[in-house]
Structures are given as C-alpha cells and as structure tokens.
A and B are shown apart, each in its own frame.
Chain A
Amino acid sequence: MIAGAWICLFAPLAGTLAIALLGTRVPRAAAGWISTTSVFVAFGGALWSFVDLWSKGGHNGRTSTAWTWLESGGFKAGLEVLVDPLSTMMMLVVSGVSGLIVLYSIGYMHGDDEERRYFAYMSFFVFSMLLLVEGGNLLLLLAGWGLVGLSSYLLIGFWHERPTAVAAAKKAFVMNAFGDATMALAFFVLILHGGSLAFQTSFDNAANLSSTTVNLVALGLLGGAAAKSAQVPLHTWLPDAMEGPTPVSALIHAATMVTAGVYLIARTHPIFEFARTVELVAAGMGALTLLMAGLIALVQVDIKRVIAYSTMSQIGYMFLGAGIGAYANGMFHLMTHAFFKALLFMGAGVVIHALAGEQDIRNMRGIGAHLPRTKWMFLVASLALVGIFPFAGFFSKDSIISATLNLGWYGWIFWVVALLGTFLTGLYTFRLFFIVFTSDGEVRPHHETRGEGPWTMMLPVSILAVLSLVGGWIQFAPIWTPLTDWLAPVARTLDVAEPTSTQEWVTSALALAISLAGIGVAWLLYGARTRRETPRLPALQRTLEHKFYFDELYDAIFYKPAAALAAWWRRDIEESFILAAGPDLGETAFDTGRGVRRLQTGLLRTYVFFLGAGMAVLAVVFLLVK
C-alpha cells in the first residue's frame, strides 16, 4: 500500500519531467497523453493504497520514510508519505478528478501554441497537490502548499501575452504567499515549543502549550487555509484567477487546490480543537464567505466568474463544517463539490470553446439549443450544486447545515446563514442556467464541430455527470454514514457537531424547500416565458458589482500608500540625493587626486627622505611617550 502511495506521488512528477526534458522531441499531441497517463497512473496508485488500507480495516494508517530530508540540531524532517483514511480519500479525489480534467484539456487546449508547457504544468500541479495531501509531516505539507501556489500562478498566467492574466497570476501568488507566510510562522512556533513538525508529535505537544501560543499557531494555520481557499478577507484573487484556461479553473480553482484549506483544518484539527475560538472563527469566516460570495454571484456576467463565486461560497460551507468540528461533513462536501464544480466548469468550457472564447453570459443566449448534451450535464451539475435530491450536493451540504444546530446561539446564526446561502445558490446557479441554456437567442457555435466537442472533452464531462448524480449516495446521514466512519480514526466529528436525526430531517427538508424557492425565483426572473422585471436596487447592485469594494479597499490600504511612498522616495531621495550625489562624489575624488599627485616626485631621494623623516618622528614620539 505504501508503494501505491509513492507511485501516486511521483508518477505526475515523472510526467512533468518527461514533457519538460524531452521538449520538442515529443509531438504536441503526445504531451497531453503523457500527462494524462501519468495522472491516471497516480490514480491507480491511490486506488491501490485505498484498497489496501480498506482491507486492513482502515485504522490510523502508516508513514513511510524515504530518507531524512532535513536535519538541524534536534529538528528532523523526513521525505515521507502518510497513508491514512484522510490522505487516501484526498489522493483519490485529487488524482481522479485531475485525470479527468487533464484528459478534457487534450481536447480543450488542442491547437494552442504552447500545449507542452501547459501539460507539464498540469502534471506538476497534480504532483504538488499530492505532495500536499500525502506529505507525512507539516513541513512537507508546507512544501506542497507552496508548490501548488506556484503551479497555480504558472497556470493562471499561462496565456502570458494577456496583461490581465499576468496581473491575475501575480495577485493570486501574492495573496497565497501571505497565507504561506502565516503558516510558516505557525510552524516556527511549533518547532520552538515542540521541536517537531511530525503530525502526531506536534499535536501531542499542542496539548502542553499555553492557550496564547496554541491560538497563535491555529491563527497562522487559519491564515494559510483562508488564503488558499479564498475565504473572506483573502478571497479577492480567486475571481481574477479565472483568467487561466478553463480546465485550470476546473482543476485548481474549483476541485482541488482551493479546497486544501479544508483539508488543512481536518488534518490539523487537534491543534484547532485546543484553540476552539479560532476554529469557530474559521466557521464564521466560512459563513460570511458563503453569504457574500453567493450575493456577488447574483450580478456577475462572466460565466466563469459566476462559477468562481459559487466555488467560494461552497468552500464557505466546507469551512463552516470543518470549523464547527464536523470534519467528515466538510470533507464529504469537498468531494462532491469536486465532482459537480469540475463538471460545471467543464460544461462552461464546452460553451466557451464553442463560442471561441466568449465568456459574457449575455452573449450566450440561445447556445443551449446547439449543445443539448452539455445542457443536460450542466443541469445535472447545477442541481447537484444547489443540493436537490437525489443529486450529490443534497447529501453533503445538508449535513453541514444541520451540524450547526447544537452549538448554541452562534450555531443558530450559522444555521440561518447557511440556509440563506442555499436560497442564493439556487438563485445564482439557475440564473446562469436559464440565461445561457434556455433563453431564446440567435447565438450559434462559432465553428462547425462534430457533435459538441471531441470525445476527450465529452467523456470526462459524462463521467463527472454520473459522479455528480450518484457521488452523494456514499453517505446519507443519518441513515448510513460510511464516510464519517472511515474518517473517524483521523478526524472524529466533535460531539457538538452531531445533529439528532430529527434535526437532520428538518434541516434537509427546509434546505430543499429553500433551494427550490431559489430556483423558482430564478425561473420567474430569467426562465419563464413572461419574465418578471428584475428588481432594481441600484445601490445594492453597485455594491455587489464592485464585490463589496474589497479590491478598492485593498487598493486604498496597501497599493496606494506603497505607491505614494515609492514616488516620494524617488523624488526626494533617489533623484534629489542619490542621483545628484554621483557627479559630486566624482568631482571631489578628482580634486583630491589633483592635489595629492604633487607629492609623487618620482625622485628616489624624496621618498628616502620622507621614509627617514617618518622613522625619526616615530622614534621621537616613541621615546617621549615612554
């Protein structure tokens, strides 16, 4: 089973190296296949580890160390992989969804100028993500954490001739680096107080830390998680990241990387449990994000941005689940979300592909008639996202919402917010669906394709559609809960986050009703033959279109002062002082040289005289002092 994990980790890296080192010697089409194969090999490895772990009862898991990676004094960190229920689940989700999306990319990226570079990056991303979830200690986790940030940066800026893409890549990198920094600081504190970054040791050490220290560590971890998972207030990079190719948005900015924050909370939950306040802050962050992102998604007109905000909103649910202590529910939603969100993005990708790059939903009216299969699959994904029985989102989202009920007064706030969120989800998802796929319009595909896309695109979409349909049935709380039981050895759900079955049923029914109400309102406004007028609330609409002014705020707080400071330094220090000083220094040196050169007579006798005179003076001084 350990061999499976190592294969899983290094197969994508081998793919990257093969594509990168062979360069132009591999045909462009072959690069995609190398990458796809490497990721599916990784999936095979993950499956092997999973089945093996399963057959052994799935307890605790084990670590395999290849060699000592870093050693410094008493601190030691090995290159090791951890195979336990949590990591195998992530391995399966990451490598499985990645494989499908890389396969989809073969069709989507066909004919792009730099296909090889794209596929090398994709494999590299999968490797980084697997390092993140398989890493057997916090240091390796951080290494993977940094590498996924890097590959995300590379892929967002993949079309590097577009200034907006480059700017978006930089923005994502800087915000992620902020999270990496807080995480690294948390790890420094852990090393300082425990001398170890091994998972179990540092969790045991956390019990002996003062509450301030453990709160600091948890806050650092939360900073990293929030930046990676685009939670308020570190979320502004995610919508801009949609500048990357659509499969990248599907893979990195929906299915895998952005959910790493949830994985981090589940993985380091013992630390968070010692700092329960911080954990609840995480839940609050999730609640705030799911509401804000849901509201912003209502007014966006770029198809990918709508889905991006919906991703933020759904990760908000996962944070809420993980934050209140229902780790398994958070992870469950992570898994189903990976299916249906990847499907949504890939469906959007088919539409964008058919319209040769058009992303504005107002210019897509009527395309649904030409893309019937995509339309149905998009509908499946939308229903799964909204959480309509029997699609995947229904099972995972409702169990998160009902888990909030036993927490006291803030639990009720979370519950209400989460239910409001389901209404928004229904509204924005079906606003998108009705406008793009069912409204009448003249838009037709740009180029005559056979069917709706090559099979490499349609096959992954179909598989994901099936998964979105049945993926949720793995767990149907409270009737059967295999996933919770599977994760229990690693991340046991806290008692306060265990709802009674009455609470489960009532919440499910309410959530379903509210989601349907959201869909109904969307239908009235955007779908019905005789459409109602969209209510006009100019102030609110402006606020939402500016995304609650976060970008403007950060601009005013960070960018403008820095730019002003730089301009001031340039004017008053650089130009007036440093630049002006150069000629002056030169002149002074010349003048001094002209004065001193007269001492050099070239006559031996003067040198000897000065030598002797100097000696004489020194001798006299010496004698006098003595």
Chain B
Amino acid sequence: MLGPGIAWYLGVSAFLFGIGALGVLLRRNPLIVLLSLEIMLNGANLALIAFSRHAHNGAGQIFALSVMAVAASEVCVGLGLVVAIHRRRLELDVDSLSELRG
C-alpha cells in the first residue's frame, strides 16, 4: 500500500480532535465553538476513513459521509441559534447564556 501507515493518520486525527475539543472548551464566541465542533467531527471522520482503508472495508467511508450530513445539519441549527441570539441583541458569548445555573 502506498503512503504513510495508519498510525500517522490516527495521529493527525487525534490532533485535530484535540484542537477542536480545546476550542469548544475554551473559546467563548459561539461561532468559534461551532467551528471547533466541525474540526472535531472532521478529526473523527479522518479516523473512520483511515480505518476503512486499513481494513479494506467501505463501511467506514459511508459512515463518514453520514457524519458529514449530520454535521451540515448541526451547523445549520447552530448558525440559526447564533443569528437568533444576535437578533435579540444579546451578547455573543456562550458563558453569558447561563440561565440554567442552579
């Protein structure tokens, strides 16, 4: 098989996932949080495709496609929320949306 081994792909995938997770945890702008979510999902996709190729099994690729579809719809909802927040002239900061605090 050509190209680098599976370990490299998984390394990149974990790296992307880590960056995404840190972004979700640390950033306060909802747009950036959504962006980071996308990065996490793509990290996961990369792992799926890598395994798929490694195992000569197409199921992982199909699964990645459906993850993309879910991601697209999730972004729609997320951006819709951002727009709604903006319209109500609220601060675009996820930490200020804390009505559920006990």
In the complex, the answer to whether A601 meets B101 with C-beta atoms within 8 Å is yes
The docked-state distance in angstroms from the alpha carbon of A596 to that of B102 is 9
Q: Which residues of A contact B100 (CB under 8 A)?
A: 600, 602
* B98 adjacent to A602 (CB under 8 Å): yes
Neighbouring A residues of B21 by C-beta, 8 Å: 612
**In the complex, which residues 44-97 of chain B have their Cβ closer than 8 Å to any Cβ of chain A?**
94-95, 97
Q: Which of A598, A599, A601, A604 contacts B94 (CB 8 A)?
A: A604
Q: A609-B25, A612-B21 are in contact. Are A604 and B101 (CB under 8 A)?
A: no
Task: Count residues of chain B with CB under 8 A from any CB of chain A.
Answer: 13
* CB <8 Å contact, B101 and A605: no
Which residues of B lie under 8 Å from residue A605 when comparing CB positions? 24-26, 94-95
A597 at the interface (CB under 8 A from B): yes
Alpha-carbon distance A287/B24, docked complex (angstroms)? 96
**Which residue of B25, B33, B102 is within 8 Å of A600 (Cβ)?**
B102
- The verdict on A600 contacting B101 (CB below 8 Å), with A605-B94, A605-B95 known, is yes
Could you say which residues of chain A place their CB within 8 Å of the CB of B94?
603-605
Q: Is A608 an interface residue (CB 8 A)?
A: yes
Q: How far is the CA of A609 from the CA of B102 in the complex (A)?
A: 18
A residues in contact with B97, CB < 8 Å: 602, 604
Residues of A within 8 A of B26 (CB): 605
The reply to whether A598 and B95 contact each other, CB–CB distance below 8 Å, is no
Whole-angstrom distance between the alpha carbons of A604 and B26 in the complex? 10
Q: How far is the CB of A198 from chain B (nearest CB, A)?
A: 68
B101 and A608 form a contact (CB under 8 A): no
Separation in Å of the A553 CB from the closest CB of chain B?
A: 65
Evaluate contact between A601 and B98: CB separation under 8 angstroms: yes
Across the interface, B102 reaches (CB within 8 A) one of A598, A604, A608, A612, namely A598
Q: Which residues of A contact B25 (CB under 8 A)?
A: 605, 608-609, 612
Which B18-45 residues have C-beta < 8 A from chain A? Answer: 21, 24-26, 33
* Residue from A598, A599, A601, A604 whose CB has the most chain B CB atoms within 10 Å: A604
Q: How far is the CA of A609 from the CA of B98 in the complex (A)?
A: 16
Bound-complex Cα distance A604 to B98 (A): 8
Q: Are B95 and A608 within 8 A (Cβ)?
A: no
* Interface footprint category on A: 10 to 19
**Inter-chain contact A599/B98, CB cutoff 8 Å:** no
Least Cβ–Cβ distance between B75 and chain A, in angstroms: 17
Interface residues of A in 552-607 (CB under 8 A from B): 596-605
B99 proximity list for chain A (CB < 8 A): 602
Give complex CA distance A338, B24 in Å: 96
**Closest beta carbon of chain A to B13's beta carbon, Å:** 15
B102 near A603 with CB under 8 A, answer no
Question: Considering only CB atoms, which chain B residue lies closest to A596 in the complex?
Answer: B102
Query: Distance (Å) between the CB of B54 and the closest chain A CB?
Result: 19
| Distance to closest chain B CB from A412 (angstroms) | 91
- A597–B26 Cα distance when bound, in Å, is 23
Nearest CB of chain A from residue B21's CB, rounded to whole Å = 7
Closest B residue to A601 by beta carbon equals: B101
Q: Beyond A597-B102, A598-B102, is A603–B24 a contact (Cβ under 8 Å)?
A: no
Least CB distance from B50 to A in Å reads: 18
A609 to B101 Cα, complex, angstroms: 16
Distance (whole angstroms) from the CB of A623 to the closest CB of chain B: 15
Distance, CA A598 to CA B100, complexed state (A): 11
Check A599/B102 contact, CB under 8 A, given A604-B94, A604-B97, A605-B94: yes
A612–B25 alpha-carbon span in the complex (Å)? 10
Residues of B within 8 A of A600 (CB): 100-102
Q: How far is the CB of B97 from chain A (nearest CB, A)?
A: 7
A366 to B54, CA, bound (A): 121
Nearest opposing residue in chain A for B27, CB measure: A605
Q: Name the residue of chain A whose CB is nearest to the CB of B98.
A: A602
Q: Of B21, B97, B98, which is in contact with the most chain A CB atoms at under 10 Å from its CB?
A: B98
- Name the CB-closest residue of A to B28: A605
CA A356 to CA B100, docked complex, whole Å: 78
Contacting residues, chain B, for A596 (C-beta < 8 A) = 102
* A601 contacts across to B, CB distance below 8 A: 98, 101-102
Q: How far is the CA of A26 from the CA of B99 in the complex (A)?
A: 68
Set of chain B residues within 8 Å of A597, measured between Cβ atoms: 102
A600 to B100, CA, bound (A): 7
Give, as a whole number of angstroms, the nearest-CB distance from A371 to chain B: 88
Q: In the bound complex, what is the Cα–Cα distance between A597 and B100 (angstroms)?
A: 10
Chain B hits for A603, CB < 8 A: 94-95, 98, 101
Residue positions of B touching A, CB distance < 8 A: 21, 24-26, 33, 94-95, 97-102
7 pairs of A and B residues whose beta carbons are closest in the complex:
A602-B98, A602-B101, A597-B102, A600-B102, A602-B100, A604-B94, A605-B25
* 14 additional A-B residue pairs with CB within 8 Å, beyond A604-B95, A608-B24: A596-B102, A597-B102, A598-B102, A600-B100, A600-B101, A601-B102, A602-B97, A602-B101, A603-B94, A603-B101, A605-B24, A605-B26, A605-B94, A608-B25
Give 20 pairs: A residue, B residue, CB < 8 Å, sorted on A. A597-B102, A598-B102, A599-B102, A600-B101, A600-B102, A601-B98, A601-B101, A602-B97, A602-B100, A603-B98, A604-B95, A604-B97, A605-B24, A605-B26, A605-B94, A605-B95, A608-B24, A609-B25, A612-B21, A612-B25
A residues lining the B interface (CB < 8 Å)? 596-605, 608-609, 612
